[in-house]
Amino acid sequence: MTDRTAWASAVGAAALVLTTATGAHAEGRGDIRVVKTVVNGGANVIVGTSKTIRYPVDITVKDNSGVKGLSHVSTYNAGSAAGSGFVDWEGTSCTKKSSTTSVCRATMSVTPAWIPGYSDSDANKTAGVWQINATVQANDGDYWISDRIALYKVKRAAQLTTVIAPTKVAKGATATVTGKLSRANWEDLKYHGFTGQQVKLQFRKKGTAHYSTVKTVTTGDAGKVNTRVTVTAAGSWRWYFPGTTTTSLKVSAGDVLDLT
């Protein structure tokens, strides 16, 4: 692995971005500064149980002599102590925007297989708000060490299924819609049922483009959900989970019901 940097840990869809020149703590020499940082294009970082996740951190840097680049980038849960984590900083490329300003893109990655062994604590507790730290360098030797130049959310991935039965009924008859909500467990790298969560049952009439919410149901044991509906038209049914501060939004695939 490359330089494994510090994190500790994938309700709001957008990342929190700090555009101030310095973070909570900063030190260095000269007039070089970070003026803007955007993580993953403003989206949450969602981490599951097997797939390696890569995401960009775009750091806008300014100095009167021009920007040399980044010498350090790290990220970890904003409420944890620095120095514990499971993310790689894979490298950086900088694009010159003017004689004084460049945008440097740091590529970060996390492979779920690393997570269980990174600490004795429960990795699942580190989902939530994370921070970015960076050290930037100028052509004239100026440098600046900045903490918390951006805040963003890392969330546990969710899975959601929908099954309707029967799949063909007469108009006015009832059908049963079931499903299951689960989320990634970063300790055993499996998905477990997510109980006590509100999910929305949505319907899209055949021939139309959009779903509308019919009712809200709470997931029960093992994340399972079950409800009955009166059928008025053919169309597709699905469950929608809006997510939480630590678990991703998820929409199931639609299951089609036809009229006899």
Confidence of residue 257 (pLDDT cuts 50, 70, 90): very high
Look over the chain and give the mean of its residue pLDDT values, rounded to a whole number.
Answer: 90
Indicate whether 6 pLDDT > 80.
Answer: no
Instruction: Tell me which architecture the domain covering 4-156 has in CATH.
Output: Sandwich (2.60)
Indicate whether 15 pLDDT > 70.
Answer: no
Q: How far apart are CA 67 and CA 58, in angstroms?
A: 14
Decide if 4-156 and 158-259 have a common fold: yes
Indicate whether 178 pLDDT > 80.
Answer: yes
* Mean predicted confidence (pLDDT) in 230-252: 98
Domain range annotation of the chain? 4-156, 158-259
* pLDDT of 82: 55
- Tell me the pLDDT tens digit for each residue of 118-174: 888 899 999 999 999 999 999 999 999 999 999 999 999 999 999 999 999 999 999
Centroid of chain to Cα 258 = 36
Would you say 39 and 150 are in contact if contact means Cβ atoms under 8 Å apart? Answer: yes
* Mean predicted confidence (pLDDT) in 81-103: 88
* pLDDT of 7: 33
Looking up tokens 């483009």 gives 209
Residue 61 in tokens? 């840097």
* pLDDT of 84: 58
Indicate whether 107 pLDDT > 60.
Answer: yes
Indicate whether 90 pLDDT > 60.
Answer: yes
What dotted CATH number matches 158-259? 2.60.40.730
* pLDDT of 81: 62
Confidence of residue 24 (pLDDT cuts 50, 70, 90): low
Among residues 106, 122, 80, 150, the alpha carbon closest in space to that of 2 is found at 106
Q: What percent of the chain has pLDDT over 70?
A: 88
